Structure 1
Amino acid sequence: MTVRAIYPARRAVEHAVTVPGVRPVRLFAVLWPLWEVEITASVYDEQAYEVVDRFLARALAEGGVGTRGGLAALFGLDPSLVDRCLAFLTAIGHLTVTPGGEVRLTELGLRSVRTGVRYVPKESRQKLLIERFTGRPLPRRYHRGSLTVLPAPHVPEEMLADRTRFLPLYAPTAFRHQLVEALAARPDRADYNLPAQLREIRGVAVRDAYLPAYLIETDRRDLLAYTDAGAGRDDLIENVCRDVPALHAMIAAEARADPRELWTGWLADRKLGPGRLQELPNGVWRVVLTPAAFGGPPKLPPSQVGSFQLRGHHFLQLWCDDPGLRRRAVLERALGMARLHEVRTRADLLGRAATLAARLEVAAPTLTELRDHATSERMHDHLLHLDMLE
């Protein structure tokens, strides 16, 4: 089984720092509590009637015939053949036969006769995700197979794209079956992974589930939310944050560090050479390093130029004034984007690469430049993914 890494925290930070009018301050990685509800329901398979079955059903619905003997006499059929057909229609829920021999169509049988289609009920199982603080069902974008939803409140080491540690959140709410009933009654339920053709919905099992999420606190104590359910902010989780004051209280209780002191200590620990700390107009802290700080271990990877370092819920942008190094970072990170499961077209890749290039203040790369860089650096796997894009 393929283990898919949780997308790194820096992606959330990189988006948050571009939101107009927002000054992001701290990041909290959390495991958002959900319920995973497995339901069973009936779904009706549409089949063509067998010739004899169709005429028998129409005689019951339209011909005023209501007994086994009457059906056999009406069509001149052998009674044993009529019995076999009636037994089959009874087994699929289309009619009932009383001990006295009276034959009646069920509602399903009548509906089949009216539409001219034999509906055969089958059992279907479906999974729903429900947010635990508010009981809101999650839309279909959260049900993608590529979205990581964990069965327990911890993240396996092999799923961590970086060293981020996730804090499980606790929702003091009990599951109620009325949540599924309310969703089943909604006209837009298909938008929440509950198809309209499912009937007689019944809950089977309820399990805990956890969605990895990043909450970014702003200088105004607002919370921006990010999950892998979409490319940008997660409006659903942000709305829940506004409705649950306890979440704000939990984050506000975490003491803020002095950014200059925090990052001065980080620079000393990493021994990266001279670095100049500065606070940008949007409140983000940046360290300007020399080109010598980037390279092979123990130096910083060149691809991290323009990205962010996390420490104690705070984040620091890594920068270099050398445009050639920033250009290389764009090329390598764009090639990395080509391997993302959500990037399927060249146009999408080039759009993402152009956004990154603007952030790093260099020209946007072309496909030819990406291919040339991958070839010269022997990034054969990246080159393969690049060529597979539509």
Structure 2
Amino acid sequence: MKALNDAAFQQGLHPVRLSAVLLPVHEVEVRATTRTSRPYGLIDKFIERTIAETRVTAVSEIAEVLALQPALVDRAVRVLRRIGHLPAHSNALELTDLARESLRDGHCYEERREDRRKIYFDGYRCEPLHRRHYGKPTSFLNYAEARALEEQDSRLVMLPALHQFHREALNTLARRTDRAEFNLPSSVENPQDVRPEYVYLRLYIIRALARGGNVRHLAYAPDAGLEYDEHLSELCSSTPDITGFLDQSTAPIADQERRIRNWLGRLGLTGIDPMRHPDGSWHVDLPPGEFHPKGSRQESSVGSFLDLWTVAVRVWCEDPDVRQRALVARTRMILRRAGYRPEELPDLVSHLGAQLEHPDLDVHGLRALVAEAGEQDLAAELDRYLERTSDTP
């Protein structure tokens, strides 16, 4: 599974278990003023500069200074009032803060009111969710939908929603320089929450062990492409309401082993003993006959983790021929996958080396291994990559 493999080979941890949860989230409808920018009209800019640099306060006086028809200046003044550069309900011609900022920056800023958007904050610390959760695939569920989904899927658990939304959280977000990363661009001003309510986000949480035995919980959202979410991972690792649930739901070691043996039994492999490492992770060494072409299992699964509900287990095979075929299969998958970008190849190859126990594998080393396996088409493709990168300054 993608999330388990990321936890092991990208984050450098030892996955023990994957839990499927529904994370409570504050959905906050926000009413705000938006600011847009456009080039200044020539007359508008001169009128504002005249007001700023002189003491004139009447249309006729501005017309005289600029040598323009009063009717033309009057029309421009009405436009400046409408866009918030002059007071709307006063005869005085005094620049607003918006007008002064516009003159300072050389762009005509305009305010458009009644912008409404939804901002999402986690249900425990009221910290904003990254904009990756705002894409079309993301589906936030209301309470009834979340409860119905929990009843349909026995693995899925709704985490408790006990905390009220803190209104200061929105103000804190508005002050952040990176607020656009959380669906609040700088063009949105004076945001005010209208109606906070609870919704739920589907989340996979991987219980993993770091060096020294420290427990960490890594979060991956299925609707956001199963990308590692650093913020939600830190939340899940440090929030007692979440860690307490995850600790209670961790199966005893004997139950973990029983689950793995039952899986092996369904494969007809009752003679294989699962191995538990000192770090708490498990692996099984499957015989070569389980893999193609004799068996039904793809060689590309060698080195990957499998989710068995209460425990995660790494699939392995010590046979050198199977592991070589696994390397070839995984290389072909990398180079043929949709959306493959050549600049990603070094990281992908390093990841592959970690999975198949080729320490410090790089593109040159991979090219040599696939050529040794007789896969000349893959070797040629890697040659083309190496030629392109050698020409890059």
TM-score range, shorter chain: 0.7 to 0.9
1:50 and 2:41 matched: yes
C-alpha distance in 2 between matches for 1:232 and 1:30 = 16
Please state how far the C-alpha of 1:135 moved relative to its aligned partner: 0.9
C-alpha distance in 2 between matches for 1:342 and 1:144 = 21
Which residue of 1 is the match for residue 16 of structure 2? 25
Task: Pick from 87, 96, 113 the counterpart of residue 87 of structure 2.
Answer: 96
Which residue of 2 is the match for residue 247 of structure 1? 242
**Secondary structure of 1:214 counterpart:** strand
Deviating more after overlay: 306-315 vs 123-132? 123-132
Q: How does 1:223-302 map to 2 (within 5 A)?
A: 223-227=216-220, 234-254=229-249, 255-256=251-252, 258=254, 259-272=256-269, 274-295=271-292, 299-302=296-299
Which residue of 2 is the match for residue 360 of structure 1? 356
CA deviations 1:94-135 (Å, max 9, x no partner) are 113667x54333222233345544222246666543221111
1:11 and 2:5 matched: yes
Please state how far the C-alpha of 1:269 moved relative to its aligned partner: 1.7
Task: Pick from 126, 130, 135 the counterpart of residue 121 of structure 2.
Answer: 130
Which residue type is aligned with residue 270 of structure 1? L
Please state how far the C-alpha of 1:183 moved relative to its aligned partner: 1.6
Please state how far the C-alpha of 1:92 moved relative to its aligned partner: 0.9
How has the CA–CA distance of structure 1 residues 121 and 13 changed in structure 2, closer, same or farther, with 3 Å as cutoff?
Answer: closer
Where do 5+ consecutive residues of structure 1 fail to align? Answer: 1-6, 158-162, 377-382
Which residue of 2 is the match for residue 69 of structure 1? 60
Q: How does 1:169-184 map to 2 (within 5 A)?
A: 169-184=159-174
**Secondary structure of 2:87 counterpart:** strand
Which residue of 2 is the match for residue 160 of structure 1? none
**Secondary structure of 2:366 counterpart:** coil
C-alpha distance in 2 between matches for 1:277 and 1:167 = 28
Task: Pick from 81, 96, 102 the counterpart of residue 106 of structure 1.
Answer: 96
Which residue type is aligned with residue 308 of structure 2? R
CA deviations 1:154-173 (Å, max 9, x no partner) are 6999xxxxx99543323212
Please state how far the C-alpha of 1:250 moved relative to its aligned partner: 1.6
Deviating more after overlay: 166-175 vs 123-132? 123-132
Please state how far the C-alpha of 1:209 moved relative to its aligned partner: 4.5
How has the CA–CA distance of structure 1 residues 366 and 209 changed in structure 2, closer, same or farther, with 3 Å as cutoff?
Answer: farther
For these two proteins, the number of residue pairs brought into alignment is 363
Please state how far the C-alpha of 1:84 moved relative to its aligned partner: 1.3
Percentage of matched positions with identical amino acids: 27
How has the CA–CA distance of structure 1 residues 355 and 83 changed in structure 2, closer, same or farther, with 3 Å as cutoff?
Answer: closer
C-alpha distance in 2 between matches for 1:55 and 1:338 = 59
**Secondary structure of 1:30 counterpart:** strand
How has the CA–CA distance of structure 1 residues 375 and 366 changed in structure 2, closer, same or farther, with 3 Å as cutoff?
Answer: closer
Which residue of 2 is the match for residue 309 of structure 1? 306
Please state how far the C-alpha of 1:55 moved relative to its aligned partner: 2.9
C-alpha distance in 2 between matches for 1:50 and 1:126 = 31
Please state how far the C-alpha of 1:35 moved relative to its aligned partner: 3.1
Please state how far the C-alpha of 1:291 moved relative to its aligned partner: 1.5
**Secondary structure of 2:94 counterpart:** strand
Deviating more after overlay: 360-369 vs 299-308? 360-369
Q: How does 1:179-198 map to 2 (within 5 A)?
A: 179-187=169-177, 189-190=179-180, 192-198=182-188
CA deviations 1:186-210 (Å, max 9, x no partner) are 4554554434453222345656241
C-alpha distance in 2 between matches for 1:303 and 1:249 = 36
1:344 and 2:316 matched: no
**Does structure 2 retain, via aligned residues, the 8 Å contact 1:97–1:104?**
no
Which residue of 2 is the match for residue 380 of structure 1? none
Task: Pick from 201, 205, 210 the counterpart of residue 214 of structure 1.
Answer: 205
**Secondary structure of 2:303 counterpart:** coil
TM-score by length of 2: 0.74
CA-atom RMSD, angstroms? 4.3
Please state how far the C-alpha of 1:181 moved relative to its aligned partner: 1.5
C-alpha distance in 2 between matches for 1:284 and 1:98 = 71
**Does structure 1 retain, via aligned residues, the 8 Å contact 2:18–2:310?**
yes
Please state how far the C-alpha of 1:300 moved relative to its aligned partner: 2.1
